[in-house]
A and B are shown apart, each in its own frame.
Chain A
Amino acid sequence: MTENRPSPDQLLERVQREEQKARRGKLKLFFGACAGVGKTFAMLSAAHMLKQQGMDVVVGLVETHGRVDTAGLLEGLEILPPKKTEYRGKQLTEFDLDAALARKPAVLIVDELAHSNVAGSRHAKRWQDVQELLDAGVDVLTTVNVQHLESLNDIVGQITGIRVWETIPDTVFDHADEVTVVDLPADELLQRLKEGKVYIPDQAERAIQNFFRKGNLIALRELALRRTADRVDAQMREYREDKSIRGMWQAKERLLVCVGPGPDAEKLIRSAARLAGNLHADWIAAYVETPRLQRLRQETRDRILQTLRLAQELGAETTTMTGEDVASTLFSYARSRNVSKLVVGKTSRRGWRRRFTVPLAEELSLMASDVDVYVVGHGAAGRAAPAEEAVEFRGPEFGEKRRSRRQGYLVAIAICALGTAVAAHLATYLELTNIIMLYLLSVMLVAFRYGRGPAILSSVLSVAAFDFFFVPPKFTFAVSDTQYILTFAVMLAVALVISQLTANMRYQARVATLRERRAKALYEMARELGAALQPEQILEIANRHLQGVFLAETAILLPDLSEKIGLPQPREGQPPRAMALDTAIAQWVFDHQQPAGFGTNTLSGSSTYYLPLKAPIRPRGVLALAPSNPRLVFVPEQHRLLETFAAQIALALERVHFVEVAQGALLKIESERLRNSLLTAISHDLRTPLTALVGLASTLETDANLPEHSRRELAEAMHEQAVRMSNLVNNLLDMARLQSGEVQLNRQWHVLEEIVGSALRSLRHTTANHVIKVSLTSSLPLIYVDSALIERVLCNLIENATKYTPPGSQIRIGAETLERELRVTITDNGPGLSPDMIDTVFDKFTRGQKESATPGVGLGLAICKAIVQAHRGRIWAENTNEGGARFTFTLPLLEPPLIREPNEPVAESADRPAHGQ
């Protein structure tokens, strides 16, 4: 029984699909066989009906082509003004996507879904604009013709002889919520055409006239109706699946199409797409790169890339594999993906090659007897160029240059000459057979070092030289013994085979090296990223590796808290960025999780390629890449590497993010703990003087008969307690101010001696029982500091020293300059710090003895640390050899301003007239 029900996974998938649909806007297509059937008219009629129902209907863009009845229908509808753009001096109007998104109506009317946007628009195609509108929750009504469907594009082209370049992916059509066929019999259409009711652009009139032949129109109409029937059929099937009407629960079909380098690959892909569509199967387009294919000309490789991209647009999953043998690689992949059908193109070899090679289809069907193999025939264009246009690969990654190839040929000639010279010397001792061996050796050396071309040259030269110099009669190409003809033939054959094999081996080694290099690059970045703890580190590592591997200028753009992508901060000492970064594109990439910019369909006018950094939980940023050589980025294997890099970077960013979250939680706990100890400390330190004050004051108040000197003593004690509280409050306020970041350093040029002086002056009562020794040389440079804050540091350190040393102890204040910093020390000869205090003494609420009568909550040193750090200095504590404590802080030394020495005579010269008299 349960077998008849959909599996939980399928149900879930359907629920998710429906949820997504509910959030998305609905797409309604008006579908016609060709221009002139009245799609726009039908669409506008529908729009009026919706408006009558009270819907918010807005016209985004409609081409009336001057037809009165259509234009009439526009009346009463709100129309968005089109965007005007300048392109090559021409004023062009275009659908304004941003205005539509900003207006956000319930229903938007956009004509001509297959339209290509003006260069410089956000998307290359209008259907992409529509996707974005749907994502934003706007319902869209639009029109499309059958010839604009990607998978039918070539069929329409074959029927009508006119190829249309503006296409939409079939998935858009298939996923549309509603498709309304606007149908018109061929005769009526022709009648309308005669009446001039069909818009035809002037410049293409003749071609269009050919297009509108009755036979064409009938075929197109059939195509349109059939395609719609397919869709209805699929809907029906889905409905039946929903209701579990289907008797048997089949595993979904999966189709694998093998893309080759040939020009008919595109046709193969389209056929596969149609087949997959008919079978309702998932499909995969695979390209197997063999060492031979890696030597293909760059244009051919680019074409493969384009083919794969086309497959992707048609809804395929694409993959690139490398392998020695196409058939076995494909086969094992097919097995791993549970593929039920394989689609391959017909092998286009002719002539003698045919007899020696087994066609791929045959090879595959031999291997996989349980898999259906479909062979697709060639189109008219198939014969244009054979697959065998392989020439020596000179991709940039091999670093091979023309120069080294020419050098190869020269060396081949040189080695051949050298071999001949050596053999000539040894000719008297050697048999001719051994001389042949010498030549073969030189051919192999050339092949190994310089590849196939020079090796072939070397083979031919060797045979010629052998004939000329060693085979009697010598010094002519004539041969006395006909047996030698065979020798030559075999020698040439052997030499060619050797050169071929050696060159192949060499290529494979190179391919392997490259593959290893990529793996290594990835491994190295992953390893470094693993150790990174901060986003800045990740960015630095990622940029460094990306730039090295892809020879591109890179930048990683991260979102801020409100998910807005910002430009990365240029670091100090870095040259200004040459690449143009567009945060708008980056934001789009981040929001839509799709690559954009250079080399893509979206905003391809940009010179920078933007790639989303997708991590498992959520997107983490955008990678921007301005490649110096686009091939280094868009060749399949490099592109896959780039995607892996991006994934690694995103993962690392996510990991660091969660580390930060965890640290934040820890910090919270820590600050909670601090707050508790602060409360404890403050309540102790405030309550003590308060208790004393209350007690002392009430004594004065109640006891009227106190002798005068007792009154004075009580008052003095009250004064002392109040000052103590005042100091405590000062410290608390300072700390709060410093921590809130409210303090702005008022930095000026100061003399250290002066700051020390005013610190000592304000502490003159506190230090009365200690011996203060100041040793500052008069040659100390000016320091650029906030004097009030540095005075606080000195006060707190000196006060601290008086607190923790017995009366009579010595406190020494000294300073010295070290390279680019001034080092100030406060040393006492007291008991010193206990070892565990040395590290924690600058933490808040730390003090020498717990719960001692010594006043202060232990904020003093924490304030010192905050102030010194704000000045970019350091502060630390240690014990001296004599046992006392030493506190040291440093201040960075800057270039002081000049002081102009006036050239006035000194004042005390008595011969000057008396002042003011």
Chain B
Amino acid sequence: MTPHQPVAIVVEDEKQIRRFLRTSLEAEGFVVHEAETGKQALIEAATRKPDLLILDLGLPDMDGLDVIRDIRSWTALPIIVLSARTRESEKIDALDAGADDYLTKPFGVGELMARVRVALRRRASAGTAGQEIREFRFGDVRVDLINRQIYRAEQQIHLTAIEYRLLTVLIRNAGRVLTHRQLLKEVWGPPHVEDSHYLRTYMAHLRQKLEADPAQPRYLITETGVGYRLVE
């Protein structure tokens, strides 16, 4: 038993899903607290000192988005939302409201744990703020963030300023999904948050320069209808 067991709160009104989440998370060493309603979730989150919150957006008593906003007003605790397929706008709203990641129902344990790990690691690195990432690697690409140089199979790659800025934003959030809005705001600035075609065009350029097969990317992943994710 580790000296500090991470605490997870599962907010879900469906008993069987709670049960499956509890089993999976406990197997990973979490202490799990369950909540069935939004109000209960807020109470649990305030009292249990959680390290992770898994939140179903369809709650019986209140809008899941309000739960996120409420919690975000006082803690940076990682939040992973659960949402149904075809509800892309709901996911985007949750992410823009401050959720860290999302999972589309139905999902498997593997997927769940991958998201949980990314979220916890980001929490950990945020704790050691000030330490800039000096170098980042994915596949045969090496990004030297100090000297602003990119190598693929040790061949230097030329990126435009925008492409580079886009890449660094993705690297800083590696593993995590970023919505179109978040990326556009970071890279092009607030006036351009609706110009998603900019983002798509530059993402295609990046893939052409950094991916072996741009049509089947392995690192610069599209989350259809939601945004992009850089996976290692």
Residues of A within 8 A of B (CB): 719, 722-723, 726, 730, 733-734, 737, 746, 748-751, 753-758, 760-762, 772, 774, 776, 778, 782, 787-788, 791, 813, 896-897, 899, 902, 904-910, 912, 914-917
Complex: how many Å from CA A694 to CA B86? 29
B27 lies within 8 A of chain A by Cβ: no
Complex: how many Å from CA A117 to CA B164? 82
| Contact pick for A788, options B161, B200, B225, CB 8 Å | B225
> What are the nearest 6 A-B pairs in CB distance?
A907-B164, A749-B197, A904-B161, A774-B215, A758-B222, A751-B204
B-side contacts of A734, CB under 8 Å:
86
Complex: how many Å from CA A774 to CA B159? 25
B213 lies within 8 A of chain A by Cβ: yes
**Main SS of chain A's interface residues?**
mixed
- Whether B200 and A907, one on each chain, are in contact in the complex, defined by CB atoms closer than 8 angstroms, is no
- B92 to A: closest C-beta gap in Å: 11
A-B contact pairs, 21 of them (CB 8 A): A730-B85, A734-B86, A751-B201, A754-B200, A754-B204, A754-B222, A757-B207, A757-B222, A782-B197, A782-B200, A787-B224, A791-B224, A899-B201, A902-B162, A907-B150, A907-B163, A908-B150, A908-B157, A912-B148, A914-B146, A914-B148
A-side contacts of B207, CB under 8 Å:
753-754, 757
Contact code string B129-159 (vs A, CB < 8 Å = 1, else 0): 0001000000000000111111000001111
Complex: how many Å from CA A750 to CA B157? 25
- A75 to B: closest C-beta gap in Å: 66
Complex: how many Å from CA A760 to CA B211? 15
- Whether B148 and A907, one on each chain, are in contact in the complex, defined by CB atoms closer than 8 angstroms, is yes
B-side contacts of A912, CB under 8 Å:
148
- Whether A908 and B149, one on each chain, are in contact in the complex, defined by CB atoms closer than 8 angstroms, is yes
- Whether B145 and A749, one on each chain, are in contact in the complex, defined by CB atoms closer than 8 angstroms, is no
B214 lies within 8 A of chain A by Cβ: yes
A-side contacts of B198, CB under 8 Å:
899
B-side contacts of A907, CB under 8 Å:
148, 150, 159-161, 163-165
Complex: how many Å from CA A782 to CA B198? 11
- Cβ-closest chain B residue relative to A754: B222
Complex: how many Å from CA A368 to CA B69? 102
- Whether B132 and A916, one on each chain, are in contact in the complex, defined by CB atoms closer than 8 angstroms, is yes
- B104 to A: closest C-beta gap in Å: 10
Complex: how many Å from CA A915 to CA B148? 8
B-side contacts of A896, CB under 8 Å:
197
- Whether B106 and A753, one on each chain, are in contact in the complex, defined by CB atoms closer than 8 angstroms, is no
B230 lies within 8 A of chain A by Cβ: no
| Contact pick for B215, options A730, A753, A762, CB 8 Å | A753
B196 lies within 8 A of chain A by Cβ: yes
A-side contacts of B203, CB under 8 Å:
751, 754
B-side contacts of A761, CB under 8 Å:
216-217, 221-222
Also in contact, A787 and B197, with CB within 8 A (given A912-B148, A914-B147): no
Also in contact, A776 and B215, with CB within 8 A (given A751-B204, A906-B158, A910-B147): yes
Complex: how many Å from CA A617 to CA B195? 57
Q: A757-B207, A907-B165 are in contact. List 5 more A-B contacts (CB 8 A).
A: A774-B216, A791-B224, A813-B215, A902-B162, A906-B164
Complex: how many Å from CA A270 to CA B111? 97
B-side contacts of A756, CB under 8 Å:
215
B88 lies within 8 A of chain A by Cβ: yes
B108 lies within 8 A of chain A by Cβ: yes
B40 lies within 8 A of chain A by Cβ: no
- Whether A915 and B200, one on each chain, are in contact in the complex, defined by CB atoms closer than 8 angstroms, is no
B208 lies within 8 A of chain A by Cβ: yes
Also in contact, A748 and B145, with CB within 8 A (given A899-B201, A908-B158): no
A-side contacts of B223, CB under 8 Å:
758
B-side contacts of A897, CB under 8 Å:
195, 197
- Cβ-closest chain B residue relative to A726: B106
- Whether B159 and A906, one on each chain, are in contact in the complex, defined by CB atoms closer than 8 angstroms, is yes
- Whether B215 and A757, one on each chain, are in contact in the complex, defined by CB atoms closer than 8 angstroms, is yes
B-side contacts of A723, CB under 8 Å:
106
B-side contacts of A748, CB under 8 Å:
196-197
- A780 to B: closest C-beta gap in Å: 10
- Cβ-closest chain A residue relative to B150: A908
- Cβ-closest chain B residue relative to A791: B224
Complex: how many Å from CA A751 to CA B206? 13
Complex: how many Å from CA A758 to CA B204? 13
- Whether B217 and A757, one on each chain, are in contact in the complex, defined by CB atoms closer than 8 angstroms, is yes
- Whether A774 and B213, one on each chain, are in contact in the complex, defined by CB atoms closer than 8 angstroms, is yes
- Whether B162 and A904, one on each chain, are in contact in the complex, defined by CB atoms closer than 8 angstroms, is yes
- Whether B86 and A915, one on each chain, are in contact in the complex, defined by CB atoms closer than 8 angstroms, is no
B-side contacts of A755, CB under 8 Å:
222, 224
Complex: how many Å from CA A300 to CA B38? 89
A-side contacts of B197, CB under 8 Å:
748-750, 782, 896-897, 899
- Cβ-closest chain B residue relative to A813: B215
Complex: how many Å from CA A457 to CA B21? 112
B-side contacts of A791, CB under 8 Å:
224
Central interface residue in B149, B164, B214, by most chain A CB within 10 Å: B214
- 8 Å CB interface, B163-213 against A: 163-165, 195-198, 200-201, 203-204, 207-208, 213
B-side contacts of A788, CB under 8 Å:
86, 88, 224-225
Central interface residue in B88, B149, B223, B225, by most chain A CB within 10 Å: B225
